[in-house]
Homo-oligomer: A and B are copies of this chain.
Amino acid sequence: MTVMPKSGVLDPEGRAIAHALGTLGFTGVEEVRAGKVIELTLAEADPAKARATAEEMARKLLANSVIESFRVELV
């Protein structure tokens, strides 16, 4: 699951990284957005149920729906 700041929302971590990259001499960095990736290993074997559970986990805990969006990928 990937959790990213919604576009338009201030991303202080992304900005701090962009600034640090500039300090290290990297040029041509137009934008940096920083988020979380959370790998969940679930006992649930049914893909649809596993996806629904992961989405519920995101809504209840893993993503702040006001400022973040999430994307679930089954692997």
**A interface, CB within 8 angstroms of B:** 2, 4, 14, 17, 20-21, 24, 26-44, 53, 56-57, 60-62
Cα distance A37–B37 in the bound complex, in angstroms: 6
Q: How many copies does the complex hold?
A: 2
Q: How many angstroms between the C-alpha atoms of A36 and B56 in the bound complex? A: 21
Q: Per a CB cutoff under 8 Å, which of B4, B21, B57 touches A39?
A: B4
Q: Which of B28, B29, B40 contacts A29 (CB 8 A)?
A: B40
A33 partner residues in chain B, CB cutoff 8 A: 38-39
A53 to B33, CA, bound (A): 17
Which one of B28, B34, B41, B44 contacts A38 once the chains associate, using CB atoms below 8 Å? B34
Enumerate the 7 nearest inter-chain pairs by beta-carbon distance, A residue then B residue, closest first: A28-B43, A31-B41, A30-B41, A33-B39, A37-B37, A35-B37, A34-B38
